[in-house]
Amino acid sequence: MSAKNNKASPAKKRSNKSRGKGKKRPVKKRSNNRKKPSSKRSIIISFLAVSLIAFIAYLFYLDNRITQRFEGRIWQLPAHVYARPLELFVGKKISTKQVLFELDYLNYQQVQQLPQKPAQYRQWNNIFEIKTRSFVFWDGEENSHTIRITIEDDVVTQLIDIYTANSADLVRFDAGYLTGIFPSHSQDRVLLRLDDVPDMFIKMLLLIEDRRYFTHWGVDPLSIARALLVNIYSGRTVQGGSTLTQQLVKNLFLTQDKTIVRKVNEAFMSLLLELHYDKKLILETYLNEIYLGQDGRRAIHGFGLAGEYYFGKSLKQLSIDEMAILIGMVKGASYYNPKRNPEHARERRDIVLSAMQGSALITQRQYEKLSNRPVATVKHARSGLYPAFIDLVKLQLQQDYQSDDLSSEGLRVFTTLDPYVQYNTEQAIIKTLPQLSKNKDLQAAAVVVSPSNGDVLAVVGGRNPSYKGFNRALNAERQIGSLIKPVIYLTALRDPSRYTLSTMLDDSEFIYKTPNQDDWQPLNYDKEYHGEVTLYEALLKSYNVPAVRTGLDVGLDNVITTLSALGYKKSVSAYPSLSLGAVNMSPVDVANIYQTFAANGFHSPLRSVHAVLDNERNPLERYSLDVDNQVRPEAMAIVNSALIDVAKYGTAKRLADQLPLQVAGKTGTSDDLRDSWFAGFSGDTMAVVWTGYDDNHPTTLTGSSGAMKIWGNLFKEVAYKPYEFPQMPGLAKYRVDVNNGLLSENGCENAVELLFIEGSQPQQTSDCEGGGESNWFLNLFN
């Protein structure tokens, strides 16, 4: 057994060794090691596959962003809003002062010699020689003209084309830019087509910004390498390697952040952009997208608008040094802004000119000449100066256009705003309000209109005219007080068998009683009664009680009908207090009514827009003149004849000493002196002025001591023609004794000359005594 055991033991040992050796053999381990590299490779391959898919998806996302933008509407184009163009013709009423204002407003340059370039003029005494700008209007393009204008006694007496020596029938100046109706980002641009860009400008731009533009694929490795070497050598960033395509991508799609992620996105999107689109389209888009400065809240984009904004010219009209200034601004629109930093702009311009000379685009002599020129920009009225007027423009446009269209379709809107009248309206309010009250909370609003056509010439919405806040001219509805009285008496005078200017009215205590309501007792401003007075005297002195009695007698519904005929279409309640102006209206509402008085009964709805063009300058809309007459002309003439005397002898008599011409108008004061109004007109201008507090507390001002002073200061500057009521058959003047309303054949001392429809004049004669001139007007307010 032991032998067996002995023999068996070694065998077991060998077997164990064999198994031991088997365990230690790396066969199976080598098998495991072979599986691990395969697993790693599969992970890497999977990772790369996922990354590739993600990368392709991301490229697809970037590509989609690019194509959506380029194949849709790249930009939202704001509507450009313009003032009315100044038109001159022989017989036109205008002063040399206004002509100078208009030329300055349009940024015309005064020269000492005959004007050679558009937007230049020279003047001596009352003679102007002017070379106008060409401009595209709603009825076509107006070419530049060189004209001589002679003005005598505020009238154009000669209008001569200097080069042909022929008389000119009409000269129309370019329209001044007012503002834009912007989308939320407030970007503005004038779109250029590449074909409209001068070849020299393209060569200059590519020379400075991207010399290899037409040979690279959106990213230029050589430019990047060159910029890198220059920056390393300088120890700071002095040069960029971005192509025009990269700049465009950054401006259109990305932020200005200087990060690796943004630069990578920029590179890929640039390659994709050039893969899809022609170089010329990309260049044209760049020319229109580049940011070139700020005008208040308006961002100036594109070389088309920049040329107009900085130099008052289209890109085609710019000189080489002016082009160099704009191209220099690409490096930094704020730092190299020629308006704010002319020295910086000049340094950068000279660098551009030097590069041009080095590349043989200009000669050494041209370089020396151009680099010696000063940096000269045109001055502009700040955009957005007329917020109250623009509110009215938007209100009219929104009747025909969607809000989005106004801020995105690049419309050109020609308005009726008269810059000279607007300026003087603002100045009248700014200078007069401090004289009326030291309280800076006292507000004012004004609307100025052309009587003949309803064109709104000026709107001011508060004591700070340029403030974009509450527009009182449009939105402050306040009681109009005695401004209602001409409407009441017009209603009465439409029936001459019952009412004339000589009709005696009862100015005695009056109490209006209504069942289940408190009694209402109107009082005159002086808290006194005056017995029997003529309708004429009641209007001149603005008595309340006779107006109330007359309004109730003719019927308040008829008064409301007259208001509608005059242009006020809103709902009005027929309460007795309507006869004292207890109806809320805005200054624009009142202007709508008094335009009809100023036009002798012919109503034209107020309009602030004359025409609209699309972004290709094709006419879209013409707002033609709309005239309606629903008022008896004879009755209107009679009322206006009395309103002339209101401004001479009545509550507005101070105007007779202030103004050199005849006007007509009416004061208005609401209860407790909360509102001060004046509405009046000359032969060529009508205006409504309101003063008061926003919280409606008393002002201590009547219509004559408040609003009328602003109105008078305005009309000293803007009114040229006196108001004359129209002569018409069937009307005649008769002298009347105002004490009893009877004819005065013996020259009564209390006689006045009144206007009547033939047959309606008094048939009885007064037995008054006296002779010579009437002195009734001298004692009118004694």
Which residues does the annotation mark as catalytic? 209, 482
CA–CA distance, 398 with 410 (Å, rounded to integer): 15
CA–CA distance, 136 with 143 (Å, rounded to integer): 9
In this structure, what DSSP letter does residue 254 have? S
Q: Residue length, the chain?
A: 782
Token pair 């929104």 is found at: 398
Give the DSSP H/E element, type plus range, for residue 320. Answer: helix 320-329
How many whole angstroms from its chain centre is CA 377? 23
CA–CA distance, 37 with 33 (Å, rounded to integer): 7
Provide DSSP, 28-83: HHHHHHHHHHHHHHHHHHHHHHHHHHHHHHHHHHHHHHHHHHHHS---PBPEEEEP
In 3-state terms, what secondary structure has residue 435?
helix
How many whole angstroms from its chain centre is CA 262? 39
Q: How far, CA to CA in Å, does 260 sit from each of 263, 265, 662? A: 5, 9, 75
Number of helices (H) and strands (E) in the chain: give both, helices first.
24, 29
Q: Give the Cα-Cα-Cα angle 47, 50, 52 (nearest 5 degrees).
A: 105
As to burial, measured by CB atoms within 10 angstroms (0-12 exposed, 13-18 middle, 19+ buried), residue 747 is middle
Whether the CB-CB separation of 658 and 709 falls below 8 Å is answered with no
Half-sphere CA count of 771, side-chain side, radius 13 A: 1
- Per-residue b or e along 139-162, where b marks 16 or more CB atoms closer than 10 Å to that residue's CB: eeebeebbbbbebeeeebeebbeb
CA–CA distance, 653 with 540 (Å, rounded to integer): 10
Provide DSSP, 591-630: HHHHHHHHTTT-B---BSEEEEE-TT--EEEE-----B--
